[in-house]
Structure 1
Amino acid sequence: MDAELDAEPPCLADLNDDLLRKIASRLAESDLASAVALKRCSSRFKDLATPLVANAVSRINTKWRDAADKIGMKGAARIRGGLERNEVLTTLALPHNNIGAEGVAAIAEALRGNAVLTTLDLSGNEICGIDEDGDGEYDASGIVALADALKVNGVLTTLNLANNQIRDQGAAAIAEALRGNGVVTELDISWNQIGPTGATVIADALRVNGVLTTLNLRYNGIGNEGAAALGEALRGNGVLTNLNLGQNYNIGDEGAKALASVLRVNGVLTELDIGWNSIGPEGGVAIAEALRCNGVLTNLELMGNNVGDEGATALASALRVNGVLKSINLEYNKLGDEGKGAIWDAVSGRLGFEMVG
């Protein structure tokens, strides 16, 4: 059964406490669970946490948006109890529930012995004690506990830790886990205040990790130093196919040139996002030169940079000989008529090519 219990009536938010307890009791007896999502969950639904995670109904997506309260640490502890008994749940999404460091540590403990959960979304949960505005006291205990669990968990393949302000210390913990983890294929650590140091330790882990295919580092502050480190790691990495470095704002021409040098030799990366990174004409030309000999990249996101007509003309020239790239976004790059015309002339007649900007 597929079902979504949303904020629109009829929904669980309209039910009285008595009926909610009865639902929780019935859910505890079910054995068909495969996916559960609890988003911005009101405190009235905390009693549902354990039975939902332990059993629930097939493919339920329970979302209560903009509720007054959230699951919090105590709710996460109850979810831990459910995960420890769970034998069927494969997907658990708990975005924006104020779980905190203690809460994620509880979930991490359950992951050590859980043998079925493959997808976990803990985005926006202040797991290091810092909220979206940067307020709070940093506490790495939760992210360290989660990283330690990843070292021994052999089934989780997709992990979303976006918007948790894990910073460089948290990135280092995750990087250490990636060195020994052989199952996580998708990792989202966007919006986490990760700087050059954090990006560098992640890059070092990519040199030895042979399974991660998708890495999202969007909206951090990795700088040209972090971009260069990631680029060097990709020279020997033969599995990463999707890299998102968008909105780091400070990669610049030097970072773009470092990544371009890797695109010349990397034979697996198919999607690269370096939008909104202060890349000018020099960086645009470097990327263009790399595209002349790259035979695998299919999607390139350059939105919000400043490559100008010089960069666009170079990219157009590269596109005339590159037959692999299927989409490029050059919106908000200060292109004049010359640059736009050159790009459109280069791709006109190419069936299925997507050009933005």
Structure 2
Amino acid sequence: MAWGAPGSGQGVDDWVRRLLDDDPSLTSITVFRSRKFGHEEVKELCSALENNTRLNDFTAISHSISVEDAHQFAGVLRTNNTLQSLSLGNSSFSNEALSALSGGLSGNRGLQKLDLHGKSIGASGVQALQEALVAGSGLDHLSLSGNSLGDEGAAAVAPAIPFIREVDLHDCEIGASGAMSLATALEHAKDAVEEETTNTMLQNGHMNGSTAMPMRKIRLQILRLDGNPLGFSGTSALKPLLSQLRELHLGRAGLRDEGAASLAAAIPSSSPLELLDINDNDIGPAGAEALADALDRGLMLRTLRMRGNRIGDEGAAALSRALAKGPMLQELDVGGNQMGLGAAELLGQAHKLRKLSLFASRLGDEGARLVADRLSAASFVQLMELELSGCSIGTDGMVRLFDVLESQAAPALEMLVIGGGNPALEEEGFQGRVEALRAARPELDVAWKAGDSSSVQQLGGAPEVDFNAELREA
């Protein structure tokens, strides 16, 4: 696909015709920058969309969307309940444009996802947005990531957050005050919903068996706050959210040991939290010890991501003790944590894990042999993915590991990532050993070079983005 300069290619006439015809195969449109998409094109396309019942997804992030254009899309949202996902405008999208677009959101029950990543919007824009959403919307996923919202913007949008299942606020310059606003909004929303429930029950009691209007529900389950300077105070402020969330993403949030300890202590044993992402937070052994204590309390946590910290072998030992007691944890990423042989000992207690990343641990051949011994000695019937990239493993260690795997240790293993930072990969004949392992274990994907699938991805990382298709048809 040639991107070209904005406005240099064809317009939207082909799409307009198909939208007006309600073409059932036209379910998704992505406007690449090579398309001409100015005011007239926006007007034509929006007119065609108003009564269309087929299009589910519309993305146009390579063009400027003016306030007038945003009003056009607001008109679509007032009449079209088929459109489920909308992403509009490049970085010039303004507060005024968001205010205009928000006018169509109130009462729209069809739109499920609104992506406003990197739109240069702030407090005034999100204020209008939250007012529209609180007034009534079916929105399931809201992304405001990459905008300089700050604490003021977080406070402005906060009242709407409890009523949306997934909210992405990563890299929004939100600090401790903004985190407090989010937590307070949840508490206020719960009180409001409880009052509405009581009033509805009373109303039903006087309506001779008929049912009153449906009540609002607290729906927040996933919150992404990566890349915000929360620190200890901001992390501590999130405590009320921990009894509500299923996923909390706090990577690059400046937690350090104090924040990790505060967070771990605040998670109630009854918390529904299943995924906690605290990558790149300068967490040391003390923070790891606190998290291990939290796991000991019987949390329902299934996934713990803490890559890029500094827990070392001492922190690994703490996590090992917790894993030995059989918590619910299924996925653990402790790559890049300055661990040595402690990483191998950690694996020895990870019998229930499905995915484990020991990326950039200083295992060497001795550690690799320990890993092999642990895999050979225990059942590991659930381990499906193991990452050992960047672990300084030489030929001796890798041969021992491969021998154990060829003998069908870790029978459920589907992905072994060993690419980069392992001297064995540079040795003559290594590719032959890989092929022998693949022949012995055809179900096992061994990713050891750039061309292999997943060899450059973190376990459980971001999904791949398809840049090849401008128009996806059913």
Pick from 283, 288, 293 the counterpart of residue 289 of structure 1.
293
Gaps of 5+ in 1: 1-6, 129-139
CA RMSD of superposed structures (Å): 2.8
Q: TM-score, normalised by structure 2?
A: 0.62
Task: Spell out, residue by residue over 1:86-107, the C-alpha distance to the aligned partner (whole angstroms, 9 max, x if none).
Answer: 1322222236463211111111
Secondary structure of 1:277's partner? Answer: coil
8 A Cα contact 1:13 1:64, kept in partner = no
Pick from 222, 235, 253 the counterpart of residue 227 of structure 1.
235
CA distance in 2, matches of 1:38, 1:121: 15
8 A Cα contact 1:35 1:90, kept in partner = no
Q: Which is worse superposed, 198-207 or 276-285?
A: 198-207
User: What is residue 192 of structure 1 aligned with on the other side?
Assistant: 172
User: What is residue 202 of structure 1 aligned with on the other side?
Assistant: 182
Could you say if the C-alpha distance between residues 159 and 49 of structure 1 is closer, same or farther in structure 2, counting changes exceeding 3 Å? farther
**1:73 CA displacement:** 3.2
**1:278 CA displacement:** 1.2
1:261 aligns with 2:265: yes
8 A Cα contact 1:166 1:192, kept in partner = yes
1:177 aligns with 2:160: yes
CA distance in 1, matches of 2:346, 2:89: 40
8 A Cα contact 1:34 1:91, kept in partner = no
**1:212 CA displacement:** 0.4
8 A Cα contact 1:55 1:88, kept in partner = no
Pick from 299, 303, 308 the counterpart of residue 299 of structure 1.
303
Gaps of 5+ in 2: 191-217, 351-374, 389-474
Larger radius of gyration: 2
8 A Cα contact 2:269 2:299, kept in partner = no
Task: Spell out, residue by residue over 1:191-246, the C-alpha distance to the aligned partner (whole angstroms, 9 max, x if none).
Answer: 1111111111112223345320111111111111111111x2145x2x31011111
Task: Spell out, residue by residue over 1:317-348, the C-alpha distance to the aligned partner (whole angstroms, 9 max, x if none).
Answer: 111113410111111111122x2122111125
The residue type paired with residue 42 of structure 2 is K
8 A Cα contact 2:171 2:226, kept in partner = yes
% same residue: 31
Secondary structure of 1:215's partner? Answer: strand
**1:275 CA displacement:** 0.7
CA distance in 1, matches of 2:281, 2:90: 27
Secondary structure of 1:43's partner? Answer: coil
**1:174 CA displacement:** 1.6
Secondary structure of 2:86's partner? Answer: strand
CA distance in 2, matches of 1:22, 1:331: 49
Pick from 46, 49, 63 the counterpart of residue 42 of structure 2.
46
CA distance in 1, matches of 2:23, 2:47: 10
1:320 aligns with 2:343: no
User: What is residue 247 of structure 2 aligned with on the other side?
Assistant: 242
Task: Spell out, residue by residue over 1:166-197, the C-alpha distance to the aligned partner (whole angstroms, 9 max, x if none).
Answer: 11111101212336x4xx11111111111111
The residue type paired with residue 243 of structure 1 is L
1:344 aligns with 2:351: no
Task: Spell out, residue by residue over 1:61-88, the C-alpha distance to the aligned partner (whole angstroms, 9 max, x if none).
Answer: 56577x5x43343322221122122132
**1:262 CA displacement:** 2.8
CA distance in 2, matches of 1:264, 1:227: 15
Could you say if the C-alpha distance between residues 323 and 350 of structure 1 is closer, same or farther in structure 2, counting changes exceeding 3 Å? farther
CA distance in 1, matches of 2:304, 2:36: 40
CA distance in 2, matches of 1:225, 1:42: 48
1:275 aligns with 2:279: yes
1:58 aligns with 2:61: no
User: What is residue 125 of structure 1 aligned with on the other side?
Assistant: 119
CA distance in 2, matches of 1:166, 1:264: 30
**1:356 CA displacement:** 4.7
The residue type paired with residue 46 of structure 1 is V
**1:162 CA displacement:** 1.2
CA distance in 2, matches of 1:216, 1:298: 17
8 A Cα contact 2:107 2:136, kept in partner = yes
Could you say if the C-alpha distance between residues 42 and 310 of structure 1 is closer, same or farther in structure 2, counting changes exceeding 3 Å? farther
8 A Cα contact 1:246 1:276, kept in partner = yes
Secondary structure of 1:243's partner? Answer: strand
Pick from 319, 333, 336 the counterpart of residue 332 of structure 1.
336
Alignment of 1:13-92 (within 5 A): 16-17=10-11, 20-21=12-13, 23-24=15-16, 26-28=18-20, 30=22, 38=31, 43-44=37-38, 45-51=41-47, 53-55=49-51, 58-59=54-55, 67=62, 69-92=63-86
CA distance in 1, matches of 2:58, 2:133: 26
Could you say if the C-alpha distance between residues 307 and 34 of structure 1 is closer, same or farther in structure 2, counting changes exceeding 3 Å? same
CA distance in 1, matches of 2:14, 2:343: 63
